């Protein structure tokens, strides 16, 4: 029987985080993003960015957490990154003050597809919520591609819902629609059962 757990990312995890991001995007977004964009993503570049995110976060409330599958060996199988909502969390034309200091933004929540449906996403989200509560956040937001049914279904299944904000990312002259989801951060830990 496999076991899983979540822990804070370490600098030496950056390469695996980049690999997971690349592998997941190439599977999950193959019908959403242009193929040549996915094919040209640079794993070494992503690893450098994740090293910086882990070693030098902009604040103590910026966190990268990793999911680990533990069987005969341990494997990093997913990760999440979040931090105080900034301009990247805003919808076009949305005033900066609409997402206040009590709002956290999830920038990534990815589980490598071959490790899906084993509870890793739920464990990552639960661990992130514990940190958000400690940091005083009362609401969380996350952008999801409209065509990414798996992410939207996962988040809405855990209580997230669209907040009415939408945008389109320009990916190599192709507009890719996204919608923003949000959820209240519970003030007390949610019992696991």
Angle 14-28/43-55 helices, nearest 10 degrees?
A: 130
Q: What is the mean pLDDT of residues 94-118?
A: 87
In the structure, what pLDDT confidence band is assigned to residue 191 with cuts at 50, 70 and 90? low
Identify the structural domains of the chain with CATH numbers, from first to last. 4-184 (3.40.630.30)
pLDDT, position 3? 80
Predicted confidence (pLDDT) at residue 179 exceeds the cutoff of 80: yes
Q: H helices within 43-173, ranges in order?
A: 43-55, 120-134, 149-157
Average pLDDT, the chain: 90
Distance CA 21, CA 43 (A): 9
This prediction's pTM: 0.90
Residue 167 CB neighbour total at 10 angstroms: 16
Residue with tokens 């997971």: 20
In this prediction, residue 1 carries a pLDDT of 41
Phi–psi pair at 159, nearest 5 degrees:
105, -5
- Name residue, tokens 């830990």: 189
pLDDT band at residue 74, thresholds of 50, 70 and 90? confident
């Amino acid at each position: 029987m496999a076991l899983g757990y979540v822990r804070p990312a370490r600098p030496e995890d950056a390469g695996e985080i980049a690999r997971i991001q690349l592998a997941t995007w190439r599977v999950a977004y193959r019908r959403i993003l242009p193929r040549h964009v996915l094919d040209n993503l640079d794993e070494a570049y992503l690893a450098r960015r994740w090293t910086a995110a882990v070693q030098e976060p902009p604040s103590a409330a910026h966190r990268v957490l990793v999911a680990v599958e533990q069987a005969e060996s341990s494997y990093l199988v997913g990760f999440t990154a979040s931090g105080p909502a900034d301009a990247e969390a805003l919808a076009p034309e949305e005033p900066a003050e609409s997402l206040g200091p009590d709002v956290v933004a999830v920038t990534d929540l990815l589980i490598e597809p071959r490790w899906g449906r084993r509870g890793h996403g739920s464990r990552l989200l639960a661990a992130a919520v514990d940190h958000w509560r400690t940091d005083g956040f009362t609401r969380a937001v996350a952008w999801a591609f409209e065509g990414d049914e798996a992410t939207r279904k996962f988040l809405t299944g855990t209580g997230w819902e669209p907040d009415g904000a939408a945008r389109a990312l320009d990916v190599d002259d192709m507009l890719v629609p996204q919608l923003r989801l949000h959820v209240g951060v519970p003030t007390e830990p949610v019992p696991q059962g």
